[in-house]
Amino acid sequence: MKIVNTLSARIRTAQPEHHAIFTGMAWVSLFVIIGKLAGAAKEMAVAYRFGVGVEVDAYLFVLNFISWPIGVWFSVLTVVLVPLAAKMRQDAAGELPRFRAELFGVAIVLGLVLAILARLGLPMVLRSQWAGLPPATAALATHAAPTLAFLLPLGVLISLLSAWMLAAGRHANTLLEGVPAVVIGIAVLISAGSGIEPLVWATVGGFVAHVISLAIPLARRKEIEFPRFTWQSTQWTLFWRGFGIMLAGQALMSLIVIVDQFFAVHVGTGAFATLSYANRILALLLTLGGTVVSRATLPIFSKAHRQGNTQVRRVVTQWAGVMFLVGAVSSAVSWWLAPWVVKLLFERGAFTAQDSAAVSEVLRYALVQLPFYFAGLVLVSGLVSRGMHKLVALSAIANLVVKIFGNYLLVPAMGIKGIALATAFMYIVSFITLYKLTNITENHKGII
């Protein structure tokens, strides 16, 4: 009884930031689990239909190219928009509708420009010797590229609507991220067609459904406006200042996926598909932990910093320690379960026991990164909430350099296992760097 009373007293006297972060993590965890279950079902359907065949290599190669600018846009938009929205709600609430409308217009233009560039340039890249694709894979990828280019404007809009929902302190966008996976999984299973076409068009349909699912709740709350194609809001100066800095760092950091696929395709046919299946399982853990951490902490840290809370840095380091331990336990348990998980998810149809063994081995090397990745995300949220965008961007650039060096060093000797281990090495270096930056004691002039 005494223990319970003591625990209750500590909970009541804990800093409000801890309560808010814990509540946010609980909701985001639930939504991520639901979304990732949908994603796992989709991967099972794709593995059943295609195994590690040439269709999957071609599809994933193009999809990673398409996803690169979308991922950069969403990552940068989130870390800049969430703190800026907190500032606007406190200092300039009347500016929010106009700024949302004008940012909507920017997103539409950006998506259309990216789609045109992809339709014109991507087929030439895929057919070139620089891509390094086998002839059969290159032919399928070139065929799929024009249709998958539609994902660019859709993905840009999805990112914007998701970021606005997160900036408002709601986490339903995390749940809705499972919508494309549901559409793709069902379409792949029921389609009577053959080849890569069902997978390609199902992906486009999934993105369309995702846009609609995000727009409806925002419209009900009157938090979405018709787009304006002007830059008259007074908040643009602050937005572009933070956006430009983070864009440079995140664009280079996100090239890691592209770098890995070029190393993987030179290992041999099926290597990239094997790495991708391992990464799909790893993504269940990274997204569960990473999404929960960043989406639960960034709004709270930003709000606390704007309200003048001097204990934010202490809260950041405490949660970084907690998430490091969570990551270490998750890594150990996942290493033990890896063969059974891969077999359960993928080993059916064209996906053989030999494929399961290869994917499991790569996955185990990749799991080393978990504690450093989880803790590092908390540190990034803390730095961004204090306006230290330049330091975060420089850290991201350093990550790319470390990753390329690791690939060159490890891939010749270890194959695709070296790619996974190089990623873990990158996150170890990143964690050490971010921890040192977090504990900078001198005053730092923030961006926003």
Q: What is the mean pLDDT of residues 157-180?
A: 79
- The runs of H, that is alpha helices, within 269-415 are 271-306, 312-346, 353-366, 370-385, 389-414
CA nearest to 235, candidates 71, 108, 90:
90
Band (425; pLDDT cuts 50, 70, 90): very high
| Contact criterion met (CB below 8 Å) for 23 and 320 | no
Residue type, 62: V
Cα(420)–Cα(407) distance, rounded to whole angstroms? Answer: 9
pLDDT value at residue 169: 65
For 164, the domain range is 14-438
Domain membership of residue 7 (yes or no) is no
Q: What is the mean pLDDT of the chain?
A: 78
Band (283; pLDDT cuts 50, 70, 90): confident
pLDDT value at residue 105: 93
Cα(226)–Cα(236) distance, rounded to whole angstroms? Answer: 18
- The runs of H, that is alpha helices, within 149-196 are 151-167, 172-176, 179-190
Domain membership of residue 241 (yes or no) is yes
pLDDT value at residue 422: 92
Tokens matching residue 220: 């009900």
Q: Is the dihedral of CA 150, 153, 155, 157 positive or negative?
A: negative
pLDDT value at residue 304: 64
Give 233-276 pLDDT, tens digit per residue: 888 887 887 777 777 777 777 778 778 877 877 776 677 778 88
Domain membership of residue 4 (yes or no) is no
CA nearest to 117, candidates 184, 65, 56:
65
pTM beyond cutoff 0.85: no
Residues 6+ apart with CB under 8 A from 217: 165, 172
pLDDT value at residue 211: 93
CA distances from 282 to 31, 201, 363, 403 (A): 18, 26, 7, 18
Band (9; pLDDT cuts 50, 70, 90): very low
Give 381-409 pLDDT, tens digit per residue: 888 777 777 787 788 888 888 998 988 88
Cα(416)–Cα(267) distance, rounded to whole angstroms? Answer: 7
Cα(341)–Cα(118) distance, rounded to whole angstroms? Answer: 36
Tokens matching residue 240: 């572009």
Domain membership of residue 8 (yes or no) is no
Number of domains in the chain: 1
Q: Express as a percent the part of the chain with pLDDT over 90.
A: 16
Give 291-306 pLDDT, tens digit per residue: 666 666 666 676 666 6
Domain membership of residue 43 (yes or no) is yes
Residue 442 pLDDT more than 60? no
Domain membership of residue 6 (yes or no) is no
Q: What is the mean pLDDT of residues 192-208?
A: 83
Q: Express as a percent the part of the chain with pLDDT over 70.
A: 78
- Lowest-confidence range among 97-111, 285-299, 338-352? 285-299
CA nearest to 254, candidates 65, 72, 67, 402:
72
Residue 307 pLDDT more than 60? no
Residue 168 pLDDT more than 80? no
Residue 311 pLDDT more than 50? yes
Q: What is the mean pLDDT of residues 141-165?
A: 90
Band (428; pLDDT cuts 50, 70, 90): very high
CA nearest to 163, candidates 246, 61, 230, 229:
246
Residue 113 pLDDT more than 90? yes
Residue 107 pLDDT more than 90? yes
| Contact criterion met (CB below 8 Å) for 354 and 50 | no
- Lowest-confidence range among 91-95, 303-307, 428-432? 303-307
Torsion of CA 27, 28, 33, 38, to 10 degrees: 110
Residue 444 pLDDT more than 80? no
Residue 82 pLDDT more than 70? yes
Residue 155 pLDDT more than 90? yes
Domain membership of residue 148 (yes or no) is yes
Cα(296)–Cα(263) distance, rounded to whole angstroms? Answer: 35
Q: What is the mean pLDDT of residues 196-204?
A: 86
Domain membership of residue 103 (yes or no) is yes
